[in-house]
């Protein structure tokens, strides 16, 4: 068995009780010690760059404590080797209902205890069983086979964008529709339902909706997916939901509600992140015109360029939270049972011991062992699909729009800075 897939055989109820006791003990013992720890998340000083505190921590205190929104204290892990160790060690849990698991805000904490979890919030063996049901749909081979369909979707979206008056918000008009329409196709969402789902997703992700509005949009999506699962069960077609309904639900390996929750996860989990990487990748290239020109001259560089985009701007930075199931040594530091850990993949991606000239954007960088998609058994299941989507979207965009440029000065762009949300632009106005 792969070391990353080792299973820690523990009794769930005993673990929860022990972790609760450990959390109480650790909190009581560490109050005085943690009085002066810094606050996390840490601020950025440049829009597209990680917080400068990360570089200082890698050098001076690579595994250190910080205080998060609710006053609890977590360990920040900043170096590439140590981040990878946390993400691959089975003694760190992804189960968010464990006492002390670090959450990004009160909404996340409430969501963690509402309803049944999906595989992204499970540990083995449940994680292995549930994730295994859909891994075949997100292999590298499958992603490569999807290239013609993704290219068709990208061209159609770009054709529609070109009919609009300039300037156009590239995020809303191009970057977000690409991964959204791809996953609609894979799940088997009927075309006539796209507008309804788009509206629900927009409310959930635009950042300006109230918590009640977001909750209502999520419920509307869940209700819709429940009806879609019923339809696919009765009249299956060639898509993921139909396959799971036949292979898993009808054989009692998965309940109806579990399939609805899994469908919801697949529908929404990676869309915003992939869209942000398309938008941020385009912005980064526009800010490095020499490398953009080189990429236009030699489109074969697109795969390498996308890997560097993933490393350089690291759109997903909030999925790498864990909780220690027992005392674990990381980089010479003992992390106690019941303590929360934030493995900072954005910091790992600029580790000077792994990446030469780490703060420089370089589309020729090789090797490029970035951790943008995480590591270990919880590495992003759709990483290969996301790669292909970003590659096709950016290559098509810069090929078909040779005069693409920002429609506002770069310093007037608005960025998403809400701590509980992954990094991105609020909008990307462009013209051509």
Task: Point out the residues that are catalytic.
Answer: 273, 316, 380, 422
Q: Is residue 332 within 8 Å of 76, Cβ to Cβ?
A: no
CA 349 to CA 364: how far, in whole Å?
16
DSSP letters of 244-313? HIIIIITTTSS-HHHHHHHHHHHHHTTHHHHHHHHHHHHHHHHTSHHHHHHHHH-GGGHHHHHHHHHHHH
Tokens of 396: 């098509």
- Position of tokens 């795969």? 303
Q: Enumerate the β-bridge partners of residue 211.
A: none
> CA torsion, points 316, 318, 320, 326, in degrees to nearest 10?
180
Q: How far apart are the first and last CA of the chain?
A: 53
**Positive or negative torsion for Cα 205, 209, 211, 216:** negative
Tokens of 238: 């060639």
């Amino acid at each position: 068995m792969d070391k990353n897939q080792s299973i820690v055989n523990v009794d769930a109820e005993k673990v929860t009780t022990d972790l609760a006791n450990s959390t109480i003990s650790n909190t009581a013992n560490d109050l005085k010690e943690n009085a002066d720890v810094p606050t996390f998340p840490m601020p950025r000083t440049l829009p597209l760059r990680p917080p400068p505190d990360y570089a200082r921590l890698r050098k001076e205190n690579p595994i250190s404590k910080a205080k998060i929104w609710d006053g609890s204290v977590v360990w920040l892990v900043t170096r590439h080797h140590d981040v990878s160790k946390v993400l691959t060690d089975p003694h760190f849990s992804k189960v968010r209902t464990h006492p002390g698991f670090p959450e990004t805000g009160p909404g996340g904490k409430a969501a963690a205890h509402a309803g049944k979890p999906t595989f992204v919030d499970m540990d083995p063996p449940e994680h292995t069983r549930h994730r295994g049901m859909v891994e075949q749909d997100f292999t590298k081979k499958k992603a490569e086979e999807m290239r013609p369909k993704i290219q068709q979707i990208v061209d159609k979206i770009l054709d529609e964008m070109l009919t609009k008056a300039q300037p156009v918000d590239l995020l809303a008009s191009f970057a977000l529709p690409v991964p959204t329409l791809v996953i609609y196709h894979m799940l088997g969402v009927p075309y006539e339902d796209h507008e309804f789902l788009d509206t629900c997703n927009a409310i959930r992700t635009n950042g300006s909706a109230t918590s009640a509005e977001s909750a209502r949009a999520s419920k509307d999506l869940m209700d819709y997916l429940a009806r879609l699962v019923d339809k696919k069960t009765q009249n299956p077609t060639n898509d993921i939901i139909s396959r799971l309904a036949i292979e898993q639900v009808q054989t009692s390996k998965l309940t109806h509600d579990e399939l609805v929750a899994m469908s919801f996860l697949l529908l929404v989990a990676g869309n915003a992140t992939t869209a942000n990487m398309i938008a941020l990748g385009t912005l980064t290239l526009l800010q490095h015109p020499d490398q953009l020109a080189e990429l236009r001259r030699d489109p074969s560089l697109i795969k390498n360029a996308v890997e560097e985009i993933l490393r350089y701007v690291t759109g997903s930075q909030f999925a790498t939270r864990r909780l220690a199931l027992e005392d674990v040594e990381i980089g010479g530091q003992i992390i106690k049972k019941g303590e929360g850990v934030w493995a900072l993949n954005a910091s790992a991606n600029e580790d000077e011991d792994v990446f030469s000239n780490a703060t420089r954007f370089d589309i020729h960088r090789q090797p490029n062992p970035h951790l943008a998609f995480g590591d270990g058994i919880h590495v992003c299941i759709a990483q290969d699909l996301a790669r292909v989507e970003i590659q096709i979207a950016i290559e098509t965009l810069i090929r078909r729009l040779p005069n693409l440029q920002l429609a506002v000065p770069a310093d007037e762009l608005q960025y998403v800075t809400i701590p509980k949300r992954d990094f991105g632009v609020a909008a990307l106005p462009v013209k051509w």
